[in-house]
Amino acid sequence: MTDDANAPWLIVGLGNPGPDYAGNRHNIGFMVVDLLAERIGGKFKRAQKAQAQVVEGRLGPMGPANRRVVLAKPMSYMNLSGGPVTALRDFYKVPTAHVLAIHDELDIDYPTLRLKLGGGDNGHNGLKSMTKSMGPDYHRVRCGIGRPPGRMQVADFVLKDFSSTERKELDWFVDRSADAVECLVTEGLERAQSAYNS
């Protein structure tokens, strides 16, 4: 698989399936791809070849910057995301450099964004699983959720819904994250970093 400029992008929102997890901090990746699906007028459906839900469409302005994309939500639970993502990458013939994971990030304050290519998993089970399956050379949109307060365990914190204070900015944050994804896919990482990294 070559890194062809015309190859599709696989945009993966990381999260856990089911209504119990829908509002969790750990599910911000799902929230962002849901908004992107709305923007392209698509509805998620079960993937044929992977344990995931997908929407196919085009992202960005009409013209040369318009990109073919596959939006995906793995339905395997966070720590097993790598299997479905790799199956989708292979099925849609997407180069690894055109895979983009949207995920929550503890070491970045809420509501701050950072975009990057490659790197470690920083203890994030979804990234750990993806990297184990396909190596680290995929793009990430890191949505800062901050650290748990006091002595709260990380696992409890990420599996809790956003607080009422955080929810006041959540729609704006999800919208900005979706804008950042669109910018990265249509204009490249450097342009997106300079516009959205804060």
Q: What are the residue numbers of the active site?
A: 26
Residue with tokens 């459906």: 45
With beta carbons less than 8 A apart as the criterion, state whether 100 and 11 touch. Answer: yes
195 CB-side CA count, 13 A: 16
Handedness of CA 91, 97, 102, 107 (dihedral sign): positive
For the chain, the distance separating the N- and C-terminal CA atoms, rounded to the nearest angstrom, is 33
Place of tokens 């975009």: 115
Residue among 41, 33, 38 nearest 88 (CA): 33
H-run or E-run covering 56? strand 52-59
Say whether 88 sits in a helix, a strand or coil: helix
Taken in order 28, 143, 85, 179, the sign of the CA dihedral is positive
